[in-house]
Amino acid sequence: MSIELKSPAEIASMRHAGKIVANILEKLAALVKPGIRTSDLDDAALEMLKSYEARPAFLGYRGFPKTLCVSINSEVVHGIPRPSRLVKSGDVVSLDFGCVWNGFYGDAALTVGVAPVSREASRLIETARRSLDAGIAAMRLGGRVGDISNAVQEDVESNGFSVVRDFVGHGIGRALHEEPQVPNFGKSGTGPRIETGMVLAIEPMVAAGSGDVEVLADGWTAVTRDGGLAAHFEHTVAMTDKGAEILTLSGPLS
């Protein structure tokens, strides 16, 4: 499959979808407190989507059973919300959320520490957040996807953490996962050329330990093999003539 470049009108739809995702994620992040069930967060996400006339991106995707992914501590991505899973003080909670609006997808993730968190946990979260910024800053017209991968990896590893290699960022548009893959490791100057109309979900998954992961028996939840903490941040980013534009920023819908 080839890389689908988007027109300005298509990017406008993706901007709308992205804002819905960001607005909901922001509200969900504020709900992450000790005692909340991860299924409560999922219910809230689905309920909020209704007011935006959007539909969930993950529900039913390859059989995923929920609207939101909630991955706690050693869980890296794709944690399935459930009533028996309560958030606790000190937890590192990653929320990954996507929606479809007018046929276009938005996808974003963030990680919150539930106070009080360890020094290592807060440094991990901050590093993951900043490595996403570094990846986005490396998304330049005429550059290569490997520039993004390399920027994320350098930032993470220079802080003594590891990138997770088994899961990658991706192109996004009329499908949740499109070409190209956007690994969180790689060499600058390699990979597909970054062109106007390219839209990428850039999503560093960062581990305090080795970054090796395994998938639990539920078929979804990816955890670190060494049990170390993990954090995850993601934005949907469009390459426009004016530069890289983050589509998953919160704000009023026009």
- Residue 40 or 203 with smaller CB distance to Mg ion: 203
What's the helix, strand, coil split of the chain in %, to 5?
30, 30, 45
Burial of 253 from C-beta contacts in 10 A (0-12 / 13-18 / 19+): exposed
202-231 positions binding Mg ion, by CB under 5 A: 203
Nearer residue to Mg ion within complex by CB, 136 or 201: 201
Cβ atoms of residues 11 and 240 within 8 Å: yes
The minimum distance between CB 107 and Mg ion, in angstroms, equals 4
Can residue 107 be called a binding residue for Mg ion (CB under 5 A)?
Answer: yes
Given 28, 198, 201, 239, the residue binding Mg ion (CB under 5 A)? 201
Least separation in angstroms between residue 96's CB and Mg ion is 7
**Region near Mg ion per CB under 5 A, out of 57-65, 85-93, 187-195, 200-208:** 200-208
Which one of 79-87, 104-112, 121-129, 190-198 is the stretch in contact with Mg ion (CB under 5 A)? 104-112
Measure the CA angle with vertex 112, ends 55 and 223; round to 5°.
80
Provide the strand spans (E) within the chain.
55-56, 68-72, 75-77, 92-101, 104-113, 162-163, 169-171, 178-182, 199-202, 205-207, 213-215, 222-224, 230-232, 235-240, 243-246
- Of 24-32, 36-44, 101-109, 140-148: span binding Mg ion (CB under 5 A): 101-109
**What is the nearest approach in angstroms of Mg ion to the Cβ of residue 250?**
18
Task: Select from 74-82, 143-151, 199-207, 222-230 the region that touches Mg ion (CB under 5 A).
Answer: 199-207
CB of 33 to Mg ion, least distance (A): 25
Nearer to Mg ion by Cβ, of 85 and 232: the residue is 232
Q: What b/e sequence results for 192-220 when a residue is b if at least 16 CB atoms lie within 10 Å of its CB, and e otherwise?
A: bebebbbbbbbbbbbbbeebebeeeeeeb
The contact set with Mg ion (CB under 5 A) reads 107, 201, 203
